Amino acid sequence: MIPDDIVAYLKEQSLLLATAESCTAGRIVALLAQVPGSGSLIECGYVVYSPEAKQRLLGVSAETIERFNLTSVEVAQEMALGALHDSPATAAIATTGLCGTEDVDGIPAGTVCFAWAFVCHNRVSVFTRRHRFFGDRESLQHQAALHALQALPDFHQRALAGESA
């Protein structure tokens, strides 16, 4: 039911969505695309795994990647802002993390970093969060994509109220 609710929310709020997905591999857009009429609410979806793709396509800074790691809220934030850049989109969701079963660089498997960015009142508000999920790869990707979608309305309302965090 979540994708249906989010499509309805995007429509009622006149939002146009862009996504920048790494560990969720396009699943956010795929979930939304199952809902009839969603195509007019999705501007674009980037699937960027490599650091080079994140830098080239989304403008993520090499310094940010080096300093904070690919699995970081700082990288997720730059991915979300990059998805909004040169786009008429008014909302963006970004994900980066470890949806496998192995820990990497001391980061526990299932750790996903999220960012939600919104253009409201001629300013951009960005919210970031880190969450850990459990299960196999497919389950982790699905849980992370649903989490990203579920949180969108709350963060959008906070952006409308002038918040950013």
How many angstroms separate the CA atoms of 9 and 15, rounded? Answer: 8
pTM: 0.96
β-bridge mates for residue 124, sequence order: 119
pLDDT in tens, 41-69: 999 999 999 999 999 999 999 999 999 99
- How deeply is 21 buried, as exposed, middle or buried, from its count of CB atoms within 10 A (0-12, 13-18, 19+)? buried
Query: What are the structural domains, with CATH classification, of the chain?
Result: 2-160 (3.90.950.20)
pLDDT in tens, 1-13: 699 999 999 999 9
- How deeply is 54 buried, as exposed, middle or buried, from its count of CB atoms within 10 A (0-12, 13-18, 19+)? buried
